[in-house]
Amino acid sequence: MPGLACYDFGDTIRFAACTAGYLSETADILTEKEIESLPVGAAVITLELARAQLALYRDMQKHREERRENVRNYKRDK
């Protein structure tokens, strides 16, 4: 999500070496509260990405059922 430093950090925290580099480049522009929120970013971005993937899966299942119904209707009409 744009504008949230904790999301930017959380998305890159999977690479431990990134932490020092991230802070060395951003510490002078981040607020103290943003720096304190960085550890939460890893959990938040994980949950956000999981939510997005589950929504995508749900939508795919819905469309699968619609396609099956279309096939059943086609076979019935013949």
pLDDT averaged over consecutive 10-residue blocks of the chain (78 residues)?
Answer: 72 71 92 90 86 92 85 82
Residue 31, SS3 per DSSP: coil
0.85 exceeded by pTM: no
Picking from 43, 3, 2, 7, the residue whose alpha carbon sits closest to that of residue 22 is 7
Per-domain residue ranges of the chain: 5-77
Residues in the chain: 78
Q: Please say whether the beta carbons of 41 and 10 come within 8 A.
A: yes
pLDDT at position 39 is 83
pLDDT at position 16 is 64
